[in-house]
């Protein structure tokens, strides 16, 4: 393990007022996103779109790192420069999604476990040679009757911890992502109870696997009632509930908590982040690691047309700027 490498990377990633752009959509997910704008998901179109994102002028002002997908980390810009090197040159740290998606977890009622531990060390070593300095692994928890089960919580927490330990052994900073899904009609209070149980299990497992908390990033869900629950809670209620759960479960040694947007609209995710950061100083940097909440407006502006690239990049830049202000609790909400 190279603590010097880990320290260098974590310091770059947690620059105040900066967050992460998650551009690690699987082939299936990006196909769905492209279908929404009538664009075919070909290798060339995916490459063109990712180049649009990564070459957005001055994006480094608000984005410290980008999470890439296996296909993307091996691609290059039209100039011939590999995407990881292009990002590094612009002051942005390249990272890589390393989990291989969800599979049914035996012994549960349609719950899942994340695959990808087999051969992970070698894959990480290969990705590091390509330029990746940090990695991401996502576990998923569904709130329903008697779910998530204790088995699903414990097994996914152990898997997250094993992944994180392997990353650090190779000098790669792990992003630990335990996502509590928004689907359902559960209350804010139910989400808080589940989030507490999940995070307690995750940090217990991280301790067992001797993961160094100072060299990791937590990427959790905000504490929000289910999409189908009415009425939806106010912005400050979400902020209070989220911080209450985090204070009870996340050690102060963790340097940064970068929230996922989890299906929230771009405006809701940004406003919630801002409200969280207006509630006084916390032990951790509180930032974002957004995918759709940053990309969706940009993608719809692009429409797969070269003539729209500049306009789409402006929208991405403006979105990143707004979320940067939210990281500082200085977003002006109308």
Residue 290 has pLDDT above 90, yes or no: yes
DSSP conformation class of 308? G
- Residue 36: count other Cβ atoms within 10 Å of its Cβ: 10
- Residue 12: count other Cβ atoms within 10 Å of its Cβ: 17
- What value does the mean pLDDT take over residues 315-329? 97
| Confidence tier at 333 by pLDDT (50, 70, 90) | low
* pLDDT confidence of residue 331: 84
pLDDT digits (tens, 9 = 90+) for 80-104: 999 999 999 999 999 999 999 999 9
Residue 205 has pLDDT above 80, yes or no: yes
> Can 177 be counted among the known catalytic residues?
yes
Look up residue 86 and give its two tokens. Answer: 């292009």
* pLDDT confidence of residue 263: 87
d(CA 29, CA 142): 19
* pLDDT confidence of residue 334: 58
DSSP class per residue in 134-194? EEEEEEEE--BTTBS-HHHHHHHHHHHHHHHHHHHHTT-EEEEEEEE---S---HHHHHHH
User: For residues 215 and 7, is the Cβ–Cβ distance under 8 A?
Assistant: yes
**More confident site: 233 or 204:** 204
* pLDDT confidence of residue 1: 61
d(CA 144, CA 121): 35
Residue 13's nearest CA partner among 77, 59, 63 is 63
Q: Tell me whether residue 118 is exposed, middle or buried, using C-beta atoms within 10 angstroms of its C-beta: 0 to 12, 13 to 18, 19 or more.
A: exposed
Percent over 70 (pLDDT), the chain:
99
Catalytic-labelled residue, pool 18, 97, 136, 219 = 219
d(CA 266, CA 293): 4
Catalytic-labelled residue, pool 111, 177, 179, 296 = 177
- Residue 333: count other Cβ atoms within 10 Å of its Cβ: 11
Residue 323's nearest CA partner among 298, 286, 296 is 286
pLDDT digits (tens, 9 = 90+) for 219-278: 999 999 999 999 988 999 999 999 999 999 999 999 999 999 988 999 999 999 999 999
Q: What is the mean pLDDT of the chain?
A: 96
DSSP conformation class of 24? -
Percent over 90 (pLDDT), the chain:
95
All structural domains of the chain, each given as residue ranges with its CATH number in brackets, are 3-327 (3.20.20.70)
Look up residue 318 and give its two tokens. Answer: 């403006």
* pLDDT confidence of residue 149: 97
């Amino acid at each position: 393990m190279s603590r010097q490498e880990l320290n260098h990377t974590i310091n770059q990633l947690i620059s105040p007022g900066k967050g992460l752009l998650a551009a690690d959509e699987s082939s299936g997910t990006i196909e769905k996103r492209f279908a929404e704008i009538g664009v075919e998901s070909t290798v060339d179109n995916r490459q063109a779109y990712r180049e649009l994102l990564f070459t957005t002028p001055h994006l480094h002002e608000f984005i410290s790192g980008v999470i890439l997908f296996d296909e993307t980390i091996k691609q290059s810009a039209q100039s011939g420069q590999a995407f990881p090197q292009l990002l590094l040159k612009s002051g942005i740290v390249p990272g890589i999604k390393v989990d291989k998606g969800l599979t049914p977890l035996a012994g549960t009622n349609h719950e899942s476990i994340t695959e990808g531990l087999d051969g992970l060390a070698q894959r990480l070593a290969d990705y590091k040679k390509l330029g990746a300095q940090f990695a991401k692994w996502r576990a998923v928890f569904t709130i329903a009757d008697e779910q998530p089960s204790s088995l699903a919580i414990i097994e996914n927490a152990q898997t997250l911890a094993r992944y994180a330990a392997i990353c650090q052994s190779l000098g790669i900073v792990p992003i630990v992502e335990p996502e509590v899904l928004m689907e359902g009609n559960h209350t804010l209070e139910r989400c808080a109870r589940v989030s507490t149980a999940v995070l307690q299990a995750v940090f217990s497992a991280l301790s067992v696997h001797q993961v160094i908390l100072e060299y990791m990033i937590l990427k959790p869900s905000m504490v929000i009632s289910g999409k189908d629950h009415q009425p939806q809670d106010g912005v400050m209620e979400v902020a209070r509930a989220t911080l209450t759960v985090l204070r009870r479960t996340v050690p102060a040694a963790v340097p940064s908590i970068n929230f996922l947007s989890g299906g929230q609209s771009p405006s809701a995710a940004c406003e919630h982040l801002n409200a969280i950061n207006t509630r006084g100083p916390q032990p951790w940097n509180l930032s974002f690691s957004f995918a759709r909440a940053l990309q969706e407006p940009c993608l719809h502006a692009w429409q797969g047309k070269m003539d729209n690239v500049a306009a789409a990049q402006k929208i991405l830049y403006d979105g990143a700027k707004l979320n940067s202000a939210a990281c500082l609790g200085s977003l002006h909400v109308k």
